[in-house]
A and B are shown apart, each in its own frame.
Chain A
């Protein structure tokens, strides 16, 4: 079974190598698009975000934020702090877009926290500055989580929303929160939120993920081509298990997908200065994604009658999943619906996995994302397997 599958796989790879379109789809086009986008898109780096803080409180909890957290971020060049006199000025500058974000700490903030009553840090965001808004929110959120009892209101321009409190021993918590390296770590991750990878790496990974769903398509078209070419009867007449033909096609698609992504990861790093993160983690995510693509492939194979149909179906699925997953542009952090939708996309999980990988440098953080991606592939393959069971012949 395996031997026959390998013979078929070898034959297919030989044919694919002669067929330039695979090379185009697997390497040239994604790499070219990455280079093109990287050149024309402004480098959307969070480094340059400018922010102001208005501390109308001055109490211990507020000081923990203003003098503890923010200077650390400024030192890491994540935030450039701008002096403002009062809330009115902060609002004017945010409205005018002179600064990206402002944190407003209301009078009585520390007392309220101390008394366990509802209070909040408001985050003002200049309209359209999705990324800095995310970062500012992440910063405040991280601090709020540490302190324990602070609500959070994100506002684009003006209104402020309420939120819930909790009891207890807050001043100490605030102090501890400001001092703990955790806050800063969380914040550093949050800084990348939405585009946690630098844009070239993000684009390269996104393109590779997008195109791998097209590259693996050759598994299905290969199967249908055998039928259209008339070679299928010959394969079926050979003294091999009928399953070996499927196995060979799937194996071929797997090899092509893996090769495409590996070449893209290496080439985008070498030629375009992308950095996907530590290799073992990248490898786990890449294998998971190729498996997910194979799951979709199996689904398409069980429904399509011709190679064209298969191509169209697979393209539609690849484009929808790619868009949801944010391969072309990051999913904005404040668009909840899109965020949830991106959880259904293996591309989204792939990019999130890479972002976590980059943020932590620890390759074991990719397992949840890899698991989600593989789970997606399995779910996609289930109908195919069921249909295959029912069909007794070809």
Chain B
């Protein structure tokens, strides 16, 4: 187990800079998820951590030691690649055993460890098969087994679930997290799927175009998104944005938007007249007969426990997830309100949280 620390890391491919000033720290035993859209530099950051890519700027520390120039095999890191990269000419057993063989571990010790890993990952019946004889999910587990047997001090996962079907993905999500709870190996997990990030992470690092947008626990990034970008990225149902201008009405700051006057927290660092963007999550919108947001229901989607209302508001489409106790019909007027502490306010210019 080790800590990993990124200290003002930058990366350029030739003259093209794709990452700059990335700094954060991963504590021992932590499960950190790097979250960001495709092309934002997640894989590159993982590859730099593993030593497969040079670090252009800054210091990379593993276990307190600077490892910028340490050879990949001396970093004690295991990585599960986005495409698994199993050894196709070796059986599952040999795939998993390879690192131990290379390290000249005793044969019976190798056998013990490979079988233990296979047991944990439910791979025991497949040890004598070739990778091409396995399903996608099984291959994914072989890739994990290969990383696990080495008992490395850091695990790196690069979008390991992105090619599995939805059900298997949900299953593997819990498996991986349970595995981590058992092994407690420091883990960096890369994904573009915010659900994976929210469900698995101790800490989420939200990335955008080679920079860090926000670092925090799943609750923190959900409850207090640092920017409009994070607010938009996190959350299953898309957050509703509306532009507006700050006014001070009745002693409490509020924002005048096309959707009406929306109250915000007195604590928010807003000045009267400032141009802002308000964000209200669909789950935070409450139906209220004298609420400021007047909408017309376009679509009523029953989701079992809740009802998702897709409505037309003056500022565009407005989405709300509400209790199903009230009957809704398409075409009727529905008015919404939101508690001031649930309204996220971002500067219209910088799109940063206020």
Do A and B interact with each other, yes or no?
A: no
Q: Chain B: residues with CB nearer than 8 A to chain A?
A: none
